[in-house]
Amino acid sequence: MTAPLPGHTASTLHPLHATSLLQVNGLSLEYRSAQRVVRATHQVSFEVDRADRFVLLGPSGCGKSTLLKAVAGFIEPCEGQILLQGQPVKGPGPDRIVVFQEFDQLPPWKTVKQNVMFPLRVSGQLSRAEAQERAMHYLEKVGLAAFADAYPHTLSGGMKARVAIARALATQPQILLMDEPFAALDALTRRKMQEELLRLWEEVRFTLLFVTHSIEEALVVGNRILLLSPHPGRVRAEVHSHQYGMGSLGAGDFQASARRIHRLLFDESGEPEPAAWLDFNDIRIAY
Ligand SMILES: Nc1ncnc2c1ncn2[C@@H]1O[C@H](COP(=O)(O)OP(=O)(O)OP(=O)(O)O)[C@@H](O)[C@H]1O
Ligand SMILES: [Mg+2]
């Protein structure tokens, strides 16, 4: 199932093994109503190791958000299982934190610092002073210490994204789940946020499960990418992309990998890809 990108040999690939932080085995997910059953994913398997930046990539409707919600514990599998540190996921827990696309998830009546402190206080593990210290630590990491007393409505989209990331990281989860977190941002801010996320990862080395339908974003953000077929999502391939970062944008091998991923996702026939893909800039999967 795993397909190396050019320059990678089979020996660099991850074997399936028991010590992965997160194991998703044969996961089928469905939405049921009185009228019908919608199968969102079909027998999806993957494993995420500690400090992985693991990306779920696929076209709209292939079940990426549904997969993330299942890992978060909001949706029960109809087939297969999800294991975190070897234990079945039975519901939401503080070991998994989700950052969504909509940053209006920040309560507007709380300041930036109060927003970051809130989950720390709710869990009851930290005193007020400890929660404040932890919140300021992560706000500094995302460059927002000076805005600790500001209210969310006074912040730009990028700044709200940073608060949401600081709030999630401050809880020190086992795995950070991000569902198209930068999709609502303009292109320049989005790129800056990708860069900042990578810088943060270099510092904190958290484990990331990241959903996107941008091939470029997947290559930049991820070290491993799971390619999902259109609805219902099935695994097409897993590719390794740890050799790419912000500096790779526009480089020949980066573009070649993007074209290869596009073929793996969409090209059933083996036809050469359209010439437009050679002019790679900010390619998103068409749907
Ligand atoms: N609450 C729901 N009730 C019924 N069907 C749903 C529900 N949420 C999603 N679906 C269906 O499940 C499938 C997968 O949806 P999902 O939102 O996981 O896709 P996605 O890959 O995240 O898409 P996008 O890239 O557009 O966010 C789709 O066919 C969708 O219509
Ligand atoms: Mg989605």
* pLDDT tens, residue by residue, 243-257: 888 888 888 999 999
Residue type, 28: S
CA–CA separation, 58 and 76 (whole Å): 21
pTM of the model: 0.87
Euclidean distance between CA atoms 195 and 161, whole angstroms: 13
Quickly count: other Cβ atoms within 10 Å of residue 224's Cβ.
Answer: 21
Q: Atom 4, ligand 1: which residue's CA is nearest?
A: 31
| Nearest-ligand number for the alpha carbon of 29 | 1
Tally Cβ neighbours within 10 Å of residue 233: 28
pLDDT of residue 226: 97
Give the three-state DSSP class for 236.
strand
CA distance 238 to 224: 7
Longest Cα separation, the chain = 61
Q: How many CB atoms lie within 10 A of CB 167?
A: 24
The residue type of 204 is V
3-state secondary structure of 276: helix
Q: Which atom of ligand 1 is nearest to the CA of 213?
A: 25
pLDDT at 103: 58
Residue minimizing CA distance to atom 29 of ligand 1: 61
Give the Å distance between the CA of 100 and the centre of ligand 1: 14
Ligand 1 pocket list (CB less than 6 A)? 31, 38, 40, 58, 60-66, 213, 231
Q: Specify which residues 38 forms β-bridges with.
A: 31
DSSP 162: H
8 Å CB contact between 218 and 185: no
Please spell the DSSP secondary structure of 10-28, one letter per residue: GGGSPPP-TT-SEEEEEEE
- List, for residues 106-145, the tens digit of each pLDDT value: 899 999 999 999 999 988 889 999 999 999 999 999 999 9
Q: Which residues of the chain have pLDDT under 50?
A: 1, 4, 6-17, 270-287
CA torsion sign for 225, 229, 231, 234 is negative
Q: Which of 29, 37, 38, when mutated, tests ligand 1's pocket best, judged by the most ligand atoms within 8 Å of its CB?
A: 38
Distances (CA, A) of 66 to 177, 184, 228, 253: 12, 19, 13, 32
Q: Whose CA is nearest to atom 30 of ligand 1?
A: 61
Integer Rg of the chain from CA: 19
